[in-house]
């Protein structure tokens, strides 16, 4: 293999970059005309992939065209303006550019000295986002997503309460720690319990109230019960914008209980945290500064390409206490490192080799400004309001209460309008018509509801009309 196989010639490179920029432009131009749901033909997809033979190398332009065809035909077009599903927005243009730059310069962020610019860019963002949530100084880093960030929170809580945890593991602790989440919390907290050795049976799923928020009386009584049983209540997780219903747990009340009980308060603001920029929602964010740690996902409402989670805590040293390991090949103490001035991320996180995740958020913010994000969030909140209004006026009943643009609803005009099988049929019909993409979920794991979330920055009022039209058409088709 010679260097031209990997680096390519200048002519080929230039032709390819041109092709890539044309591809990006035509994707956004054509996006609306694509079916949101892909062809799900297993054999066809595998045959398509096998059409590339590694023993018969191809021209780079052909390779790019092949990948573009695969991505066009065989993936769900979540950036579509009428994708009203999970928290998967289209990428910001500056985010796409930043990822290309990061890939080109390919900095390794494990140590400060290898890439001081990149590490400082990320730390600058961490301090800025920490301040938004009321932290004077933040300790944190970018992660592969909310799942890793939430796992990091649990490890911080463990190492703070049980300094012997790192050496002895969970089995070496004097008593079993327990974690409290609402039954509507993201399942990654349960996964973290499994991965950290805590055990999924020690995660308490606290009942939610009628607004799908954690019931704090239940929380208090479960903590008391666990203490009686000789367990050690360790951490409570409040969610700021649940995945299902966009519910916002009562932050101040949870903070009060956590403080009284001496347990770690973690805030999972993966999706909803972005709404802190909407000044009209200030009240629901009261008390965020009391959280011992919190997480955000920049690849959700902030619309940067996947994957970009952020973990933050207001407690110094805990990350090092958990993650600092030395390796013979990287003795930082001998590099002239200035303690307190240089953040070495491999001493503070799960990762060793670390890509430049923060640049896509930094450049998006640099160009859009806080005001650009404020406008996006405000306008999507308004689209959520419009959707609620249109649904109500056509006989759909809304089951959730949230200022965030997530609407969970059932049909009052159909005798089976509250049943899973009917709602699933409606969702299927809407998706099949390609009017929009929504799905049927279950709130508190029991109550079926159609769920629509405004997440694409391409979505407009006319897309909301199309969704409601699609729903009403589906209802009509199912009646006759
Ligand atoms: C998306 C989400 C997660 C998981 O984050 P990933 O980035 O998908 O790993 C956790 N909690 C909440 C509330 C989420 O919305």
pLDDT in tens, 142-163: 999 999 999 999 999 999 999 9
The C-alpha atoms of residue 73 and residue 361 are separated, in whole angstroms, by 29
pLDDT of residue 346 exceeding 60, the answer is yes
pLDDT in tens, 223-260: 999 999 999 999 999 999 999 999 999 999 999 999 99
- 396-398: strand order across its sheet: 396-398, 406-411, 447-453, 439-443
Q: What was the pLDDT predicted at 330?
A: 73
Does ligand 1 have an atom closer than 6 angstroms to the CB of 406? no
β-bridge pairing 309-313 and 232-239: unpaired
Rounded to whole angstroms, what are the CA distances from 422 to 302, 445, 471?
A: 34, 17, 12
Four-residue CA torsion sign, 433, 435, 440, 441: positive
Mean pLDDT of 197-213: 96
Of 153, 238, 270, the one to substitute when testing ligand 1's pocket (max ligand atoms within 8 A of C-beta) is 270
Nearest to 297, CA basis, from 125, 145, 133 = 145
Which atom of ligand 1 is least distant from the CA of 186? 11
Mean pLDDT of 255-278: 97
Rounded distance from Cα 475 to ligand 1 centre (Å)? 32
Rounded distance from Cα 145 to ligand 1 centre (Å)? 7
Does ligand 1 have an atom closer than 6 angstroms to the CB of 246? no
Note the helical H segments in 314-444. Answer: 318-323, 359-393, 420-432
Note the helical H segments in 51-115. Answer: 60-73, 93-105
Q: What is the DSSP letter of 280?
A: G
Q: What was the pLDDT predicted at 445?
A: 84
The C-alpha atoms of residue 71 and residue 76 are separated, in whole angstroms, by 9
Q: What is the DSSP letter of 200?
A: G
The tokens 């009209």 sit on which residue? 280
Which atom of ligand 1 is least distant from the CA of 300? 1
Nearest to 88, CA basis, from 458, 455, 464 = 455
Q: What was the pLDDT predicted at 334?
A: 65
The C-alpha atoms of residue 288 and residue 274 are separated, in whole angstroms, by 13
Q: Could you tell me what percent of the chain has a pLDDT over 70?
A: 99
| CB neighbourhood size of 164 (10 A) | 11
Does ligand 1 have an atom closer than 6 angstroms to the CB of 268? yes
The C-alpha atoms of residue 104 and residue 368 are separated, in whole angstroms, by 23
Does ligand 1 have an atom closer than 6 angstroms to the CB of 186? yes
Of 153, 188, 301, the one to substitute when testing ligand 1's pocket (max ligand atoms within 8 A of C-beta) is 188
Tokens (6 digits) for 31? 């996006």
User: Is residue 76 left, alpha or beta, with left meaning phi > 0 and alpha meaning psi from -120 to 50?
Assistant: beta
User: Is residue 134 left, alpha or beta, with left meaning phi > 0 and alpha meaning psi from -120 to 50?
Assistant: left
The C-alpha atoms of residue 169 and residue 21 are separated, in whole angstroms, by 50
pTM over 0.85: yes
Does ligand 1 have an atom closer than 6 angstroms to the CB of 147? yes
Burial class (CB in 10 A: 0-12, 13-18, 19+), 9: exposed
Q: Closest Cα to atom 11, ligand 1: which residue?
A: 186
Does ligand 1 have an atom closer than 6 angstroms to the CB of 271? yes
The C-alpha atoms of residue 448 and residue 154 are separated, in whole angstroms, by 31
Q: What was the pLDDT predicted at 278?
A: 92
Nearest to 148, CA basis, from 184, 189, 102 = 189
Tokens (6 digits) for 153? 């929170």
β-bridge pairing 232-239 and 264-268: parallel
Does ligand 1 have an atom closer than 6 angstroms to the CB of 145? yes
Does ligand 1 have an atom closer than 6 angstroms to the CB of 182? no
Rounded distance from Cα 239 to ligand 1 centre (Å)? 10
| CB neighbourhood size of 29 (10 A) | 9
Which atom of ligand 1 is least distant from the CA of 306? 7
Cβ neighbours of residue 21 under 8 Å, at least 6 residues apart? none
> Mean pLDDT across the chain, nearest whole number?
95
The C-alpha atoms of residue 321 and residue 235 are separated, in whole angstroms, by 18
Q: Is 86:146 a contact under the CB 8 Å cutoff?
A: no
Does ligand 1 have an atom closer than 6 angstroms to the CB of 244? no
Reported confidence tier of residue 2, pLDDT bands at 50, 70, 90: low
Q: What was the pLDDT predicted at 480?
A: 66
Q: Closest Cα to atom 14, ligand 1: which residue?
A: 270
Does ligand 1 have an atom closer than 6 angstroms to the CB of 435? no
pLDDT in tens, 305-331: 999 999 999 999 999 999 999 877 776
């Amino acid at each position: 293999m010679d260097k031209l196989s990997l680096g390519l010639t200048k002519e080929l490179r230039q032709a390819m970059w041109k092709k890539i920029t044309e591809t990006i432009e035509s994707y956004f131009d054509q996006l609306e005309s694509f079916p949101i749901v892909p062809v799900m033909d297993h054999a066809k997809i595998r045959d398509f992939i096998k059409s590339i033979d590694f023993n018969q190398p191809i021209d780079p332009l052909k390779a790019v065209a092949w990948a573009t065809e695969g991505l066009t035909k065989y993936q769900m077009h979540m950036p579509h303006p009428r994708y009203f599903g999970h928290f998967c927005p289209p990428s910001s243009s500056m985010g796409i550019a930043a990822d290309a730059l990061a890939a080109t310069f390919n900095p390794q962020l494990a140590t400060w000295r290898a890439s001081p610019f990149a590490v400082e860019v990320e730390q600058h963002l961490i301090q800025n986002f920490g301040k938004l949530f009321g932290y004077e100084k933040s300790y944190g880093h970018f992660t592969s997503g909310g799942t890793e960030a939430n796992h990091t929170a649990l490890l911080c809580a463990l190492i703070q309460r049980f300094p012997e945890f790192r050496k002895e593991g969970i089995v070496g602790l004097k008593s079993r720690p327990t974690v409290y989440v609402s039954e509507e919390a993201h399942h990654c907290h349960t996964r973290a319990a499994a991965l950290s050795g805590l055990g999924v049976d020690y995660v308490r799923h606290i009942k939610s109230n009628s607004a799908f928020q954690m019931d704090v009386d239940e929380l208090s009584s479960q903590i008391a019960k666990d203490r009686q049983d000789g367990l050690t209540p360790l951490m409570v997780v409040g969610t700021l914008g649940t995945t299902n219903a966009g519910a916002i747990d009562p932050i101040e009340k949870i903070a009060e209980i956590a403080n009284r009980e001496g347990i770690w308060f973690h805030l999972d603001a993966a999706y909803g945290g972005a709404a802190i920029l909407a000044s009209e929602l200030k009240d629901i964010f009261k008390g965020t500064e009391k959280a011992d740690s919190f997480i955000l996902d920049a690849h959700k409402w902030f619309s940067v390409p996947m994957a970009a989670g952020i973990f933050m805590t207001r407690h110094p040293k805990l990350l090092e206490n958990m993650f600092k390991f030395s390796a013979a090949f990287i003795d930082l103490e001998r590099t002239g490192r200035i303690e307190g001035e240089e953040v070495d991320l491999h001493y503070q996180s799960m990762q060793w080799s670390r890509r430049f995740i923060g640049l896509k958020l930094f450049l998006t913010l640099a160009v859009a400004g806080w005001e650009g994000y404020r406008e996006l969030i405000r306008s999507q909140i308004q689209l959520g309001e419009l959707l609620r209004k249109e649904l109500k006026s056509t006989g759909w009943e809304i089951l959730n209460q949230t200022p965030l643009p997530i609407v969970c609803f059932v049909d009052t005009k159909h005798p089976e309008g509250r049943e899973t099988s009917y709602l699933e049929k409606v969702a299927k019909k809407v998706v099949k018509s390609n009017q929009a993409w929504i799905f049927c979920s279950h709130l508190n794991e029991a109550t079926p509801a159609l769920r629509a979330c405004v997440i694409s920055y391409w979505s407009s009022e006319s897309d909301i009309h199309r969704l409601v039209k699609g729903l009403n058409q589906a209802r009509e088709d199912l009646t006759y």
